[in-house]
Amino acid sequence: MVTMRKVVAMNSITPRSQRGTSLIEVLITMVILAIGLLALAGLQARLHVLQIESYQRAQALIILRDMAGRITNNRYAAASYVTAGPLGTGAACPVSTATRHEADTTEWCNTIIGASETLGGGNVGTMVGGRGCVEDLGGDEFMVTVAWQGLAPISAPPAAVTCGLNSYNGAAGSPCVNDLCRRVVTTVIRIPTLT
């Protein structure tokens, strides 16, 4: 009989000691949920940056292939496509369209700066700070390069790729130093000798 009383006594004490436990559990759950939602918001922001970076890279590849095709189609005047400096942001696009290579260079420059799409009077059609270069490598080889401003620092492109070199560094205190925010894509075009 004594055992029965102890069981009844323990059962009557147990519910009283757990009255506040469910409130503490709810508070802990809310804290864990809030931390999870903050992490999800940070992930969403990072995904947005990566999506813009991906879009810019796709645009750069399209523009790169465009100029490579133009040079290949006009292979006898390939040397005329070589640029003295980067075309695009920070440089006025050529306006002459007298010859095929001049028209191609003008159209390519306008594409790089995004002139096909405007918003509030500004060009917004392609990459941020887009620049394009065509270099003569000798031996009927030409390197076409498209450079643009990345949104976050990663690693600098190889030093051999000079298009837009040191043009994408931020102000003092910016994480964009030493070309860490410069993005480039390149291709080499070989012009065969056809006889």
pLDDT of 71 reads 96
**CA-CA distance, 181 to 152, in Å (whole number)?**
6
Please write the tens of the pLDDT for every residue from 5-35.
Answer: 555 555 555 555 555 668 888 899 999 999 9
**CA-CA distance, 150 to 88, in Å (whole number)?**
16
**Structural domain boundaries of the chain?**
27-190
Please write the tens of the pLDDT for every residue from 69-98.
Answer: 999 999 999 999 999 999 998 888 899 899
pLDDT of 7 reads 52
Cα 143 to the center of its chain, rounded Å: 22
The model carries a pTM of 0.77
Q: What is the mean pLDDT of the chain?
A: 87
**CA-CA distance, 76 to 71, in Å (whole number)?**
9
- Please give the average per-residue pLDDT across 162-174, as a whole number: 88
- C-beta neighbour count of 191 within 10 angstroms: 15
Contact criterion met (CB below 8 Å) for 57 and 183: yes
In the chain, the N- to C-terminal Cα span, in Å, equals 115
Q: Which two tokens stand for residue 3?
A: 């055992």
